[in-house]
Structure 1
Amino acid sequence: MFCVIYRSPQRDQTYLYVEKKDDFSRVPEALLKGFGKPKLAMILPLDGSKKLVGADIKKVKTALREEGFYLQLPPPLESLLKIHLSDANKV
């Protein structure tokens, strides 16, 4: 199984995984509208030979099979206040 990964031109660190190149037929229209025109990032095998950055390969495979796509969102931003307080407690 392969997946085709597209990056969003509108949302930083947001990626859309589909099974076939340029096939967005199973992706909801509202999602595509918010995602923007997908920009091809890469094509990867999902056989475990390559590690996915920021996504669990099992979740990606399941989502592709069941929903026809997988949306990878950016990790939550670390709170600068939380970091500061954590560092202050170490002193």
Structure 2
Amino acid sequence: MQAFVYKSLRKDDTYVFLAARDDFERVPASVRNALGRMQFVMELEVTPERRLARSDAATVRGNLATRGFHLQMPPSAAADPLSGDWGTDA
């Protein structure tokens, strides 16, 4: 399954995967407004075996098939061990 990946220029580490290139009409207006301008990043084949950095390939494929898009949000601070204070500041 082909996916076209865009990053939000307003929200860091937030990406939208689209089933069809530039088909933002499938994304709800409230989400489009919150994300602001989007920049094309890449086109990729999402196969069941493909490992994605922050999303499950099966979930992405399911969302693309049913909704036409998949929204990838940044990890929460609780889930990201590098986001906390390590106590190394002098």
Aligned residue runs from structure 1 range 1-91, under 5 A: 1-48=1-48, 50-78=50-78, 80=84
Max Rg structure = 1
Q: Structure 2 length normalisation: TM-score?
A: 0.81
Unaligned runs of 5+ in 2: none
Query: What is the aligned-residue RMSD (CA, Å)?
Result: 1.8
2:26 aligned counterpart, secondary structure: coil
Distance in 2 of aligned mates of 1:51 and 1:44 = 12
Percent of pairs with identical residues? 31
Could you list the per-position Cα deviations for residues 15-59 of structure 1 after superposition, in whole angstroms to 9, with x for gaps in the alignment?
001011111121101100111111001110012564321010000
2:62 aligned counterpart, secondary structure: helix
Q: Structure 1 length normalisation: TM-score?
A: 0.80
